Amino acid sequence: MSDPIRCVELSKKFRGVLAVNRLDLSVPEGAIYALVGTNGAGKTTTIKTLMNIFRPSGGSAEVLGVDTRQISPRELSQIGYVSENQEMPEWMTVKYLLAYLKPFYPQWDDDLAQEMVREFDLPLDRKLRHLSRGMKMKAALASSLAYRPKLIVLDEPFSGLDPLVRDELIEGLLERAAGATVFISSHDLAEIESFASHIGYLDGGRLLFSEEMGTLASHFREIEVTLDAPPVLPAAWPQDWLRPETSSAVVRFVDSRFDQERSLDEIRRMFPNARNIAVNAMPLRQIFIALAKTRRQAA
């Protein structure tokens, strides 16, 4: 099968404003792909376009090998979709919701549904309107995984939830997602870093990078150069060196294309009087902040 999600120069415009700008994206089969970016970056618009809630203004997108504008019940029965602001029939009880959805999905697994009800401690006889936000998200996730979808699409599923509920949702997702492809947008970078296999960074509707998590982590390093005198930044400052800061005898910056041999050679060339060069790995949150601040300064 081709990549479960594929976008080619996908664009979405609202009243002249490009929310998604010529997006090229491929999500490999079996990946847990995290789409991250600041508020307004275009993450939700991208997901809603993939789900055919919004029609693209340009380019194309495919889900499970089908143009998103032509998604049929056959494809929908293989997609689990949970959104932060998802509307649910709040007059239904949890039990009624599961029974109502079952006929729409030929692969519905009663045993799996009941297993998740027990694991999430869902009150079957309580109406959705009387559930906490965390419980509603658990009900939405349980009802979206009970038919063993090939593709699971989650739009900010952890927003506003307490840590215990987040952990329960993540654990439930990972246990039931074996063999499926997961596409998730989230601001909870610490949690994303713990389980995502791939990551894409969206800014102003543009995809700045899309990489395997391990590859991304190897590309970013925080560099600290100690000198014998107050530092003067070279005029020919490399574009890949982000967020330069100076103090009495130290220069700090983020190398976004770090290569052990090449980067150290370039640092020594730029700072021939360096007494010490410290190279530190960066967690995802630190990488995200460095990129966001760099883009903000460039705007």
CATH of the domain at 53: 3.40.50.300
Do 179 and 230 fall into the same domain? no
Do 245 and 165 fall into the same domain? no
| Residue 174 in domain | yes
Do 229 and 208 fall into the same domain? no
For residues 80-91, b (16+ Cβ closer than 10 Å) or e, as one string?
Answer: bbbbbeeeeeee
Q: Extract the residue ranges of the chain whose pLDDT is less than 70.
A: 1, 298-299
The pLDDT value recorded for residue 6 is: 96
The pLDDT value recorded for residue 165 is: 87
Do 229 and 204 fall into the same domain? no
The pLDDT value recorded for residue 299 is: 57
Q: State the total domains in the chain.
A: 2
Do 28 and 154 fall into the same domain? yes
The pLDDT value recorded for residue 290 is: 86
Do 204 and 251 fall into the same domain? no
Q: Which domain holds residue 262?
A: 221-281
| Residue 23 in domain | yes
Do 251 and 196 fall into the same domain? no
142-157 pLDDT per residue, tens: 999 999 999 999 999 8
Do 103 and 141 fall into the same domain? yes
The pLDDT value recorded for residue 1 is: 53
| Residue 108 in domain | yes
Alpha-carbon distances, residue 164 vs 147, 167, 169, 187 (angstroms): 25, 5, 9, 17
Do 49 and 86 fall into the same domain? yes
| Residue 242 in domain | yes
Return d(Cα 27, Cα 63) in angstroms, integer. Answer: 10
- Residue type at 106 in one-letter notation: P
The pLDDT value recorded for residue 199 is: 94
Last residue of a domain, one of 216, 231, 254: 216
